[in-house]
Structures are given as C-alpha cells and as structure tokens.
C-alpha cells in the first residue's frame, strides 16, 4: 500500500492511488480502501480520485453482497465528491433488494443531478421491483419508459415473471423478447417450463 511505497522512498501518484482503491474494491477490503482514501485526502490526491474508482468500489461491494457498505460509499461520494456522480453511480442497487432506496436513487438521479435515465437504469429498476415481487409495478415502468425497452429490460421483467410465477405477463414478455431476438428460443423454452411447473 502507500506506506510500503513510502518506506521505499517512492511517492505514489494519483494513478497509483486509483489503482489501489480499485484493487481494494475488487477484493472487498474496505479497511484498506478507507485507509487509501484517507491517504489520498491527506496527500491532496482527492481531486484525482476518479468517478470510475468510486463506481468500481460501489459495484464491487454490491457484487459481493456488501450492500450496506455500498450505500455507505455512495453517501461518502455524495458528501465529498458530488461533482463526480455520473450515470453509472446510480446502477448498483438492484441486487441489494432495497426498493425504497432504489426508487429514491432513480428519482434523485433525475431531479437533483439531471441525469436522464438510460436503458441500464430502467433494467436495474425493473429488476429491483421484480425481485421484490412488485411485478405489475415493474411492468408499468416498462410501459411508461420514454425509450424502447431492450433485451435487458424485458429480460429483467421475464426473470421476475418466472420467479413469481406470473404466467399471463410472462407470455406478453416472451413475445416481446422473441421480437427483439427472433433467432433465440430461450424465452419460449423458459415459458414452456413455467407451464410445466
């Protein structure tokens, strides 16, 4: 870490700090990440710690099941680095299962930060609602989207239909998926397996 470099009388650069923060995120070593971030603040590198690094740390926490830590990092980013929030910062919450938080972030992203939702934001929101059993609400989001839903959005809804055994909606979604990907029989196979259960 930076202390090892300093013992060798080598001063880490901002790019080194970013790499170390990313490495601590991938290995989910939150203590090291906090120490490295503290070092970057003390040494004046804070301006150079990129949104890519923050986003990577948040995603790593979520992907490893550390949702509370991801939220803590997000809150730190808001507090200290508000200017670095971008569209990727707002896509990490769907697996956390925190519907109120996810919906709040979806609104915050638009209202406070002026970020126009992209397909990946809608896919996350649909996935979040679907995992929570709010399949009809998720379908309502898809119907009201100002852009055409892609495979990921429809796939998230199809997964929710499968998880919660919503056969009628699964048929509708399977037809949409078949139109988007006519050479794939995946949605038809899954739909037929739902009828078999």
According to the model, what pLDDT value does residue 197 have? 59
CA–CA gap between residue 102 and residue 90 (Å, rounded): 9
| Torsion, CA 73, CA 78, CA 81, CA 86, rounded to 10 | 90
In contact, 154 and 135? CB cutoff 8 Å: no
CA–CA gap between residue 161 and residue 133 (Å, rounded): 9
Considering the entire predicted model, what is its pTM? 0.76
Q: Is the pLDDT of residue 77 over 70?
A: yes
pLDDT tens, position by position, 10-48: 677 777 877 887 787 777 777 887 788 778 777 777 666
Q: Is the pLDDT of residue 109 over 60?
A: yes
According to the model, what pLDDT value does residue 42 have? 79
């Amino acid at each position: 870490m930076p202390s090892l470099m300093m013992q060798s009388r080598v001063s880490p650069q901002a790019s080194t700090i970013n790499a170390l923060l990313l490495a601590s995120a991938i290995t989910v070593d939150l203590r090291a990440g906090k120490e490295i971030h503290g070092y970057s603040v003390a040494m004046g590198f804070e301006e150079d710690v990129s949104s890519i690094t923050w986003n990577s740390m948040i995603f790593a926490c979520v992907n490893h099941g550390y949702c509370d830590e991801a939220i803590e990092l997000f809150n730190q980013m808001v507090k200290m680095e508000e200017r670095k929030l971008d569209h990727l910062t707002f896509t990490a919450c769907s697996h956390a299962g925190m519907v109120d938080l996810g919906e709040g972030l979806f609104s915050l992203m638009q209202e406070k930060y002026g970020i126009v939702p992209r397909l990946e934001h809608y896919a996350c929101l649909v996935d979040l609602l679907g995992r929570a059993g709010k399949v009809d609400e998720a379908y309502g989001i898809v119907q009201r989207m100002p852009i055409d839903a892609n495979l990921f959005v429809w796939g998230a809804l199809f997964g929710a239909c499968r998880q919660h055994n919503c056969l009628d909606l699964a048929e509708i979604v399977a037809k949409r998926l078949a139109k988007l990907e006519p050479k794939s029989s995946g949605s038809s196979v899954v739909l037929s397996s739902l009828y078999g259960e």
